[in-house]
Structure 1
């Protein structure tokens, strides 16, 4: 059983080494890391090249970059990891166990935000329970899917926002997700920079609009237009 860790990046030079460092034992065990750059100008690919099996350029956009990584990956299971997310000890072993015996599987990890404080702990816990109850996960929860399931739904839809939600919806029609008990350490910078309440309300508004049929391109404009 081989895991392909696929990481889309864009100008992540400040933190990409910290993301890749905990994954080096996985490489030593025969798993692979594929980094897909969307056109960084800060030297991200050069830093990543020392710590990944493949660093390739792809069309800018998280969905397109992750699909490009999946095209090049050789693993039995794809693990899509954000560049500002840190993998916990035992993550690869948990993924291997989840898809042992060639099982078709998809799912996500529990989340712990990187900032201290009760509010950030509540947000992380709420994200996990939201996904457990709805069967819909987001990219910062470390989405993973067996190759057969991922290819079976056609990969990530080519949309500029909510690609993770759309993939979850497609996969959920095939089977329910698995929530692994380990906690990913996900960056809290979005909430820190733009405010906890403002960010939570914005994301809920965008997600509701998406479920009601809003154009993802318009939601992308609203999301980035709302950030100073």
Structure 2
């Protein structure tokens, strides 16, 4: 039987993968390696590494892999936007440098992208690379929130048509909560708000390093606090101080966004 994913290139339905990096090192190599089968089948048009000033082997790894490299100011929102700006594919896949997509993701993406009338954005289910009850519970909470409220973490990846991405204005150059901000606008643009995002069955497997380093309970509580501050209108730049533990009293002030709670990678997760 012919592999259906081969017809993506023939139909002009190809993906530009955008990965923001900052000293990603070995994690990036694993992420890129996991993309190779899809690349060999013609699913991926290009992989774009949007770097924010790495001093390790990140750029060498990207170059060896044949990725397109764009360099610019540090900041995930700015880096994601910079990568998308030069992407040539009709579909964009935003992926974190420490996230590995499970085998079969390209077949799921093919089905999603070729269903007539399908909504124009999708994400993957979350799984942490570490085993144990605590990472399993955090991932479960993330997947339930994605399903019930349409609010994934940036770690889960975002597959979106170029047309739809441009229509909502793309990623804003925010230092934090850039993924929350984009999801808010996707929901606002979708009739009724709900249902703007499909959930693909393959999992996005990511690191639980932040939780292991800070402690699961402490990290979850801090993440939830940061999200509450964001929803109250505190500027993301001020919330950074709380997120990284440098301050407990951020400056108040409206950032101009309003919506019910949302996710975030490097942006707080709950």
Interval of TM-score (by shorter of Structure 1 and Structure 2): over 0.9
Alignment of 1:116-155 (within 5 A): 116-155=131-170
Higher helix proportion, which one? Answer: 1
- Output the CA distance in 1 between the equivalents of 2:23 and 2:153: 21
Question: How big is each residue's C-alpha offset from its partner over 1:56-113, in whole Å with a ceiling of 9 and x where there is no partner?
Answer: 2122111111111111111121111111111111112212221215755112111111
1:95 is aligned to 2:115: no
TM-score, normalised with respect to structure 1:
0.94
Q: 1 CA distance for matches of 2:182 and 2:142?
A: 17
The answer to whether the 8 Å contact 1:104/1:146 transfers is no
Query: For residues 121 and 220 of structure 1, what CA distance do their matches in structure 2 show?
Result: 26
Partner Cα separation in structure 2 for residue 117 and residue 73 of structure 1: 38
Q: Does 1:188 align with 2:208?
A: yes
Once the two structures are superposed, residues 144-201 of structure 1 have per-residue CA deviations (whole angstroms, 9 ceiling, x without a partner) of 2111111111111121100000000001122321111111111010100110001111
Specify which of 95, 101, 120 is matched with residue 81 of structure 1.
Answer: 95
Q: 5+ residue gaps in structure 1?
A: none
Show the counterpart of 1:211: 231
In structure 1, how many angstroms separate the alpha carbons of the residues matched to 2:94 and 2:246?
26
Match of 2:125 among 75, 94, 110: 110
Which whole-Å CA distance do the structure 2 matches of 1:72 and 1:221 have between them?
32
Q: TM-score, normalised by structure 2?
A: 0.80
CA distance 1:52–1:198, change in 2 (3 Å): farther
Q: What's 2:36 paired with? A: 24
Tell me how far apart the structure 2 counterparts of residues 98 and 36 of structure 1 sit (CA, whole Å). Answer: 26
Structure 1 residue 29: Cα displacement: 2.4
Going from structure 1 to structure 2, the CA distance change for 1:116 and 1:68 (only over 3 Å counts) comes to same
Report if the CA contact (8 A) 1:59-1:65 is conserved.
yes
Unaligned runs of 5+ in 2: 1-12, 191-195, 248-270
**Rounded Cα–Cα distance in structure 1 between residues aligned with 2:67 and 2:39:** 8
In 1, the alpha carbon distance for the partners of 2:156 and 2:231 equals 20
Contact 1:4 1:79 in 2 (8 A): yes
Q: Would you say how many aligned residue pairs link Structure 1 and Structure 2?
A: 227
Deviations 1:34-58 (A, max 9, x none): 1111110112101111224312212
Say which one has the larger Rg. 2
Give the equivalent residue in structure 1 for 2:22: 10
The alignment partner of 2:59 has SS state of helix
Comparing 79-88 with 94-103, greater Cα deviation is found at: 94-103
Q: Does 1:174 align with 2:189?
A: yes
Q: What residue in structure 1 maps to residue 173 of structure 2?
A: 158
CA contact (8 A) 2:119 2:197 kept: no
- Alpha-carbon distance in structure 1 between the residues aligned to 2:176 and 2:61: 27
